[in-house]
Amino acid sequence: MTDTVPYYEDFIEIKKKIWSLLTNAVKDRGSPFRIPIFICGNQNDFDGRIVVLRKSDEFNNIIQYHSDIRSDKITKLKVNKNAAMLFYDKEEKIQVRLRVECIVNHDNEITKASWLKTGHMSRKCYLVDNGPGAESDNPTSGLKPKLDNFEYTMEQSEEGYKNFTVIQCKIKSIEWLYLAAKGHRRAKFDLENNKNTWLVP
């Protein structure tokens, strides 16, 4: 069996494929690349979580997602802005690992622009009384009963803007792994030093 994909052994084609997967994931809710694992922290306290990819900017090597300013990951990023992201698409047989430097945006032009594009239902999680991960005596959505339904108005959803945060992830390096039948291929793209390297899979 042979693989005929153009990105099997070509740095330019590999980068094209990676960015096409990232760009498509912003629009395609079914794309596995839409929900990467984001890992942050420091030497003694790090963790990962699923995030939703909201923007892909190849020209500036930035991808971004939304968060709540009260999330514990914000505290971690304020101490250490370096993080990692992991993407995997079973059908494409491609794994991508990113090393990123994060910018936390809160109540600025970037968050205002993103908030305007955020749908009514997506705003629900920013209306919770206490931040994500806060302890509760009972199982809860975190919302007051009057908001814990689909009847809250767009005007009521505006209250969530004060918690809305955009995390911009400036990509420092990309590591690509292709699980091919005729032999895996692995490459690293150091975007800071503009250096491409083949790696043993």
Q: In this model, does residue 147 exceed pLDDT 70?
A: no
Q: What pLDDT shows up at residue 1?
A: 43
Pairwise CA distance, residues 77 & 74, whole Å: 5
Per-residue pLDDT reduced to its tens digit, 36-64: 999 999 888 889 999 999 999 999 999 99
How far is Cα of residue 141 from the mean position of the Cα atoms in its chain? 23
- What residues have CB less than 8 Å from 129, skipping those under 6 apart? 142, 143, 144
Mean pLDDT across 100-119: 96
Pairwise CA distance, residues 52 & 21, whole Å: 14
Pairwise CA distance, residues 162 & 139, whole Å: 25
Q: What pLDDT shows up at residue 127?
A: 87
137 band by pLDDT with thresholds 50, 70 and 90? confident
Pairwise CA distance, residues 75 & 11, whole Å: 37
Mean pLDDT across 79-105: 97
Mean pLDDT across 144-164: 79
Pairwise CA distance, residues 68 & 89, whole Å: 27
Mean pLDDT across 130-147: 73
Residue 47 in 3-state DSSP? strand
Q: In this model, does residue 146 exceed pLDDT 80?
A: no
Q: What pLDDT shows up at residue 3?
A: 58
Mean pLDDT across 91-115: 97
The enclosing H or E element of 64 equals: strand 62-68
pTM assigned to the model: 0.92
Burial (0-12, 13-18, 19+ Cβ within 10 Å), 113:
exposed
List Cα–Cα distances, 7 to 10, 128, 172, in angstroms: 5, 45, 21
- What is the secondary structure of 96-133 as a DSSP string? EEEEEEEEEEESSHHHHHHHHHS-TGGGGGGG-SS-TT
Higher pLDDT, residue 8 or 149: 8
Structure tokens at 143: 């919302």
